[in-house]
Amino acid sequence: MVPTKYLWSVCICVLALGACSTTGNMERNALIGAGLGAGTGAIIGNNTGSGDASTGALIGGLVGGAGGAHSGYVQDQRYYNRNQQYGRPQLYFDQRYRRYFYVDPYSGRTYWQNGEYRY
């Protein structure tokens, strides 16, 4: 059984990180991967070997976070490259942020001029 203090600390960390409102695919997937990896690692670590749930949660969170971040990065690059593939797309100007952005004609998503996802 996973000690409740570890479970609560994982939940608090996930909620604290989830409060960020300006997250792209990379950040969002890293958070989800870290949360799922930590939970799975805690369960596996508790039931195998020395029964250390905290080590399993730490390793699972690191691996899940890295995998989720990579997956989100690939998603962001795929959308950005799709915009660049069809010639030079038209730039729009955002008055509020004083930055230029592109619009993906297939998904309707918007991206800043440097390729980051526009929220």
Long-range CB pairs of 90-93, under 8 A, 24+ apart, other chains included: none
Residues spanned by the domain of 42: 4-86
92, part of any domain:
no
66, part of any domain:
yes
116, part of any domain:
no
96, part of any domain:
no
pLDDT of residue 7: 64
110, part of any domain:
no
pLDDT digits (tens, 9 = 90+) for 22-53: 567 788 888 888 888 888 888 888 888 777 78
32, part of any domain:
yes
* Distance (Å) of CA 56 to CA 32, 66, 74, 80, 85: 17, 15, 27, 36, 43
Task: Write down the mean pLDDT value for the chain.
Answer: 77
112, part of any domain:
no
Measure the CA–CA gap between 73 and 82, rounded to whole angstroms: 14
31 near 52, Cβ under 8 Å?
no
pLDDT of residue 95: 92
118, part of any domain:
no
Q: How does pLDDT run along the chain (119 residues), one tens digit per residue?
A: 556 666 666 656 665 655 554 567 788 888 888 888 888 888 888 888 777 788 888 888 889 888 888 888 888 777 666 555 555 667 889 999 999 998 877 777 888 888 888 87
Count of domains for the chain: 1
